[in-house]
Structure 1
């Protein structure tokens, strides 16, 4: 084992946070202490980013009327998604897909404006700005789980409508509405698996050697 490895207890904590992280939709209200919120956001901000561009921007939603407006945008997209799903639309409408009105803290994660100027790491893969922001969100998720807080990533919204609502500059783009706060309990498995919507696939089905697929 590497001399740089963490202790067995520390490693166990890391793997536990990864294994028990859940996309939470049910929250119990309460609050997140200011110093804890700062600690979580600092963890997010320590994420890797291509070219050290740090493309993420965090917007904390504090006004109740703004939270309600975001919830309405999510509901509009929920209805449109149900229509797009066709036969599974009614089944989808039975799922709880967000906790915008119930969570203690509501955050919006956005990509900054002017990203086209960052060529380092993005010349052939411009999507790396989004990948970098996703790393920050994952950091936030794992840190929240370690602190005993639930977190849910909501992606059901019209990006342009949300950008206008939050007065983002031209070129900035919201990529996530984050619900964060205390929960009564964590789901024992991913909620969509528990609800029978889909099931996670085992690693061996997604791991290839030397070329795509496992067929000779």
Structure 2
């Protein structure tokens, strides 16, 4: 008896739809609570991510407290003012018009961390690329994002925060690296295109311009359409 591990056409289409319709959500979070069983499934998807040397370096800090959200929002506000000053003229004006977080609006915040020394100083697969544990944690973040989309939950990644503030506010030990602060909750609707694309900040690049064959910069293949 053989086992069928394949995906049906409908299942395969659902995976690609989830990837295509994932959005970085910063607005329109509804106050509806996220049921515990739904959050558990989303966290389980994060824990199922691939990791170098099967290190599983992640931890997940689930945040509901309004006081903690206010502290994180204050840290974001400070960092955002610093970031705005880095842009010039029209770019600075456009930057200041963007909504870049939903910290106070989202029912749940989730901080994903990386415990780099979880398996000791020598880790299979990290012997020559020390940052692979960080990349593994980012894979967990992506799994969470896609699972959340499949659960009809919006997710927004807030990166305009100092790591020192995250350590202090969330009590994260010095040897553990905060990788992502995510806003999670049900939203009114998912946009057809990314917020920054609609706002005119950047447009999606053509895949054909990014695919090379054999060596970096070697184009001309027929792998993707122009």
Coarse TM-score class (shorter-chain normalised): over 0.9
Quick check: 1:121 aligned with 2:125? yes
Q: Quick one: distance in 2 between partners of 1:106 and 1:19?
A: 23
Report the alpha carbon displacement of residue 118 of structure 1 after superposing the two structures with TM.
Answer: 4.2
Question: 1:109 touches 1:175 (CA, 8 Å); kept in 2?
Answer: yes
Q: Quick one: distance in 2 between partners of 1:114 and 1:102?
A: 34
Q: What corresponds to 1:198 in structure 2?
A: 202
- Say how many residue pairs are matched: 214
Q: What corresponds to 1:105 in structure 2?
A: 108
Query: Aligned match of 1:137 in 132, 138, 141?
Result: 141
TM-score using structure 2 length: 0.90
Q: List structure 1 segments (4+ residues) > 2 angstroms apart after TM superposition.
A: 113-116
SS in structure 2 of the partner of residue 67 of structure 1: helix
Q: What corresponds to 1:89 in structure 2?
A: 92
Report the alpha carbon displacement of residue 215 of structure 1 after superposing the two structures with TM.
Answer: 6.1
Report the alpha carbon displacement of residue 29 of structure 1 after superposing the two structures with TM.
Answer: 2.1
CA RMSD, Structure 1 to Structure 2 (Å): 1.5
Q: Quick one: distance in 1 between partners of 2:160 and 2:150?
A: 26
Question: 2:109 touches 2:182 (CA, 8 Å); kept in 1?
Answer: yes
Matches within 5 A, 1:116-195: 117-195=121-199
Q: Quick one: distance in 2 between partners of 1:84 and 1:75?
A: 15
Which segments of 5 or more consecutive residues in structure 2 lack a partner in the other structure? 221-226
TM-score using structure 1 length: 0.94
Q: What corresponds to 2:223 in structure 1?
A: none
SS in structure 1 of the partner of residue 216 of structure 2: coil
Report the alpha carbon displacement of residue 15 of structure 1 after superposing the two structures with TM.
Answer: 0.6
